[in-house]
Amino acid sequence: MAEPMSGGPAAPKPDNKRALWALILGIVGIVCCPIAAPFALFMGRKEVQAIDAGMGAKENRGMALAGFILGIIGVVFLVLWLLWFLLFGGMAVIGGMSGMSQGSY
């Protein structure tokens, strides 16, 4: 007589969308909206830590890591953009103000 199969159906894998969101925010942070990059960095780092601790699906680690790395790159772009804006934007304002005070309009 054949023995019955032990155990029930396999447990469903946890539905974890944070790794996907980290990846999406990382891409958006680099392509068009740099303010999304810090969120990608934060979410990606937290998700990689959760997966390493065994609280997330190991299949999502690549997406979470990619989101984390894209978040780092996006934050660098954001900082460079802010420096450029503040430096050259401030210079333009100062130049405009100095030109106005000399009566050259």
- Residue 33 structure tokens: 């909206």
- Contact between 44 and 68 under an 8 Å Cβ cutoff? The reply is yes
User: How far apart (Å, rounded) are the C-alpha atoms in residues 93 and 48?
Assistant: 44
Tell me whether residue 23 is exposed, middle or buried, using C-beta atoms within 10 angstroms of its C-beta: 0 to 12, 13 to 18, 19 or more: buried
Q: Coil, helix or strand for 60?
A: helix
Mean pLDDT, to the nearest integer, of 19-25? 94
Q: 4-8, 18-22, 34-38, 84-88: lowest mean pLDDT where? A: 4-8
User: How far apart (Å, rounded) are the C-alpha atoms in residues 12 and 55?
Assistant: 14
Q: Is the pTM of the predicted complex or chain greater than 0.75?
A: no
Residue 59 pLDDT > 80: yes
Mean pLDDT, to the nearest integer, of 32-61? 92
pLDDT score for 42: 96
pLDDT score for 70: 96
Give me the helices (H) in the chain, please: 18-31, 37-52, 61-101
